[in-house]
A and B are shown apart, each in its own frame.
Chain A
Amino acid sequence: MNEIGNVDAVGVEERAAKYGTRSIKTASKVKGLKLAASMVDLTTLEGKDTPGKVRALCAKAVRPHDDLDCPPTGAVCVYPAMIKHARAALGDKSPVNIASVATAFPSGQVHLRTRLAEVKAAVADGADEIDMVINRGAFLSGEYNRMQDEIAAVAEACGEAVLKVILETSELETYDNIRAASFLAMRVIRQGDFIKTSTGKTSANATLANNQVMLDAIRDHYFETGMAIGMKPAGGIKSAKQALHFLVAVKETLGDAWLTNRRYRFGASSLLNDLLRQLVKMETGAYQAPYTFSEAAGAY
């Protein structure tokens, strides 16, 4: 654990604040907005989700807007019971991946064998990507090997599917913990897998600062091993402006090779419509009312 290094909270928050002062204008703004749209894991994770809701989400993911030249989103993200419906809606050769939260999301507080069975079932149902939660209890009580072994077991259960490891940063509380947990996870996952900030089910979610701590960890791991791990901030990113600042952090920390949805995703639901709203504004010069965008559940 010692060689992982530490994080100064004041310093990393200062660094993060600098991204917020970047001013992204005109063509670079359009490019950034489209890039962000292509990185969205369009998410619905509610008890009241239905096959109909998931079908609507899939249609939105494939074709976010009628007129705009906007790319499809990176994935849709649903509960395991909805994977089949998403697959039916998207077909087998969709540009949009199906991500599913498995491992007893969001708490993870069930037996490992149950979590593994859930992962296998999700992959069998057609999930391309599995978003797992780490055992925060094991981490906080110092059982790092157990936490790592569980991640390794889930990675194995994923087979061909991409794995995203959710640290649930708000429960880890400190930046030191976030950095340590990032390393523990990255050491047992595979090239192309992701680490992810949060479930979106707690009060605090992705911030520019915890995103930065994880990007720094990804860079250090890349320097050490040559293995490129992806990053997914999730929860709390609602505005296009926020998303652009997260992308500036990626550009300035990991560089061009991470400015792709193979290595960076946003876990979000209302973000996509704000990206579209800004794109329409860039084209027409006017903001449209929220109801002109499909699936506009959120209020502005």
Chain B
Amino acid sequence: MPTAAHKKSKSSPRRRSEPELIFGDLWEFDPAPESADPKLQARYRLFIGGKFVAPKSGKYFPSFNPATAKPIAEIAMASPADVDAAYQAAAKAAPAWANLPGAERGKYLYRIARLLQDRAREFAVAETLDGGKPIKESRDFDVPVAAAHFFYHAGWADKLAYAFPGATPQPHGVVGQVIPWNFPLLMLAWKIAPAIATGNTVVLKPAETTSITALKFAEIVQEAGVPPGVINIVTGAGVTGAAVVNHPTAAKVAFTGSTDVGKLIMRSTAGTGKKLTLELGGKAANIVFEDAPLDQAVEGIVNGIFFNQGHVCCAGSRLLVQESIAEAVLKRLRNRVEVLRVGNPMDKNTDIGAINSKEQLDKIAGLVKAGQAEGAEMFQPKCKLPREGWFFKPTLFSGVEQSHRIVREEIFGPVLSILTFRTVSEAVEKANNTAYGLSAGVWTEKGSRILKMSTELKAGVIWANTYNKFDPTSPFGGYKESGFGREGGKQGLADYVKLT
């Protein structure tokens, strides 16, 4: 409680002090670490033409565990020559793969999905070790949803002829794919599953900080007996990514990542005839009306911004709350944040894990500093952060204005900016006042208002009375600077075929 309130209650003793809850250590939980073996190799090579091959340069770079800031494995640095080899393998495999009956292609996808399920715990631990996300999320979300994407698209493989009435879908050929570090395995599944189901072959580059599950996935590709060259995985940083995007063999490029890099890719692919889909940044508005179920809205706000440490392009990073309930929501939100458990991502009780990289941690800290400098009021819970590794406390900013940097820029961290509104039109105006348009949330008991908001909000995905729900059957993608093209559902499938 702020000291000012203490003084106040002293001067007028009859006034009862504000009731507060105590979230202390009366019953502290002991560590509950997940103990499955992630079966890591000391050094990972490139996966080209169905084989693990050393990079031509002979160069490797370390991948770190964000929870300890210590290296856990060495990853091959693919040069443009390695990327070229991957494209050659993919091009060689393409005709036979495209001509394989859909039902046969589907079998490979089913096999991949089942193998992912078989090794789910191992993959979950590897994902948490390499990326820093809480084990409960990699266990309950990343790995099962990745498997679900392969199951879903396996089902499409033999039904493509019926997917687009009046048109015949044909694969593009070789697809170049570059994915981010926030959901390494899941983004891989979003990219690879529809591409190979429709008869394309792929060259995929994972983010340089999170390559491990992609390379473990390559083991599954081998185990499933997928024909060599259908799936190729090259690892490395920006130079490797540029080589993947700019290779002349790529008939289509699919990218998920930052808006800045997305713009570069759009420039470099312009005029090449390559098909392009981009899934970029976001600054989603999560809008809470006064008739909303408050506790569930608070839960949705927490899930919206603190899921995966806020490393989510569709994170509900701007909370718009109706003025009449702003104080009530804020009080509940502070209490809720107070009981979030921040720490060792491998602990089954951890709610918020480690920030993916030092670089990202510095970026978050910088923007939080800017928020304070611009006069916003900051709240952080009392939780202690681990002494080693890269961690950041869940942070709430109230008293925020539409012009503040923390409202305009994507932070990609556990930082929520809270704004208020009075009327529906003001909520819409504020929500749409952003360069992005990936997602939004609406909380209200009134069904008609949900429908109205869903047509007026300029966002690709709008959740009503929930947040951050994903399903392979549901298309996902953005408006404006959040990109174009859809992933998931029939709409996502359409981006991987030529319709003739």
Residues of A within 8 A of B (CB): 5-8, 10-12, 14-15, 21-29, 31-32, 35, 216, 219, 222-223, 225-226, 247, 251-252, 254-257, 259
The distance in angstroms between the C-alpha atoms of A250 and B16, with both chains bound, is 25
A5 contacts B26, CB within 8 Å?
Answer: no
Query: Which 6 A-B residue pairings sit nearest by Cβ, starting from the closest?
Result: A11-B296, A23-B32, A256-B26, A8-B296, A255-B21, A8-B293
- Closest chain A CB from B426 CB (angstroms): 23
B31's nearest neighbour on chain A, judged by CB, is: A25
The distance in angstroms between the C-alpha atoms of A226 and B29, with both chains bound, is 28
Residues of B within 8 A of A222 (CB): 19, 21
Residues of B within 8 A of A (CB): 16, 19, 21-32, 136, 140, 291, 293-297, 299-300, 331, 335, 339, 348-349, 445, 465-466
Main secondary structure of the interface of A (DSSP, over half): helix
B293 contacts A6, CB within 8 Å?
Answer: yes
Residues of A within 8 A of B31 (CB): 25
What would 20 A/B residue contacts be, using CB atoms closer than 8 Å?
A8-B465, A11-B297, A11-B465, A12-B296, A15-B296, A22-B29, A22-B348, A22-B349, A23-B32, A23-B349, A25-B29, A25-B30, A28-B28, A28-B29, A31-B27, A216-B295, A219-B335, A225-B19, A256-B22, A256-B23
The distance in angstroms between the C-alpha atoms of A226 and B21, with both chains bound, is 11
B348 contacts A21, CB within 8 Å?
Answer: yes
A26 contacts B30, CB within 8 Å?
Answer: yes
Q: Which of B22, B25, B297, B299 is A257 in contact with, Cβ under 8 Å? A: B22
A22's nearest neighbour on chain B, judged by CB, is: B349
- Closest chain A CB from B26 CB (angstroms): 4
Residues of A within 8 A of B445 (CB): 6
Known: A7-B293, A24-B32. A255 touches B299 (CB 8 A): no
Residues of A within 8 A of B465 (CB): 8, 10-11
Residues of A within 8 A of B21 (CB): 219, 222, 254-255, 257
- Closest chain A CB from B21 CB (angstroms): 4
A12 contacts B32, CB within 8 Å?
Answer: no
The distance in angstroms between the C-alpha atoms of A18 and B21, with both chains bound, is 21
Residues of A within 8 A of B23 (CB): 251-252, 255-256
Residues of A within 8 A of B295 (CB): 7, 11-12, 15, 216
Known: A22-B349, A25-B32, A256-B22. A32 touches B296 (CB 8 A): no
Residues of B within 8 A of A259 (CB): 26-27
B348's nearest neighbour on chain A, judged by CB, is: A23
Residues of A within 8 A of B140 (CB): 21
Residues of A within 8 A of B19 (CB): 222-223, 225-226
Residues of B within 8 A of A251 (CB): 23, 26-27, 339
Residues of B within 8 A of A23 (CB): 29, 32, 348-349
